[in-house]
Amino acid sequence: MLCHGLWILTPNPKLLRGRKVICHSVVMPDILNCGAVITLTPNRVVTDDDLVSGFSKHQVVPFMAAIAKRISDIRQAAQSASLVPMNPYA
């Protein structure tokens, strides 16, 4: 979720409680009230398991790279566990 995107999770605080995130400063109080942990990183993108967050639209490139990396990591773990058959053409 990029910039203000985490705001859509605030009606259900348990979705954010204890999660490491970063978001725009405008929504930060609401995100903190849900129990999220604001985590500052040099590229302003944070990955916490299945949740990738970015500070603003200016982080769209590292944000998309983090999503791609997360998908790749999940795919690699599934292949290692033999849950997904190897595709030699992928």
* CA-based nearest residue to 81, from 90, 89, 69, 73: 73
pTM of this prediction exceeds 0.85: no
**Beta strands at 37-38 and 45-48: parallel, antiparallel or unpaired:** unpaired
Q: What pLDDT was estimated at residue 84? A: 55
Q: What pLDDT was estimated at residue 71? A: 94
Residue-range domains of the chain with CATH: 5-80 (3.40.50.880)
Residue ranges in the chain whose pLDDT is less than 50: none
Contact 34, 49 (CB under 8 A): no
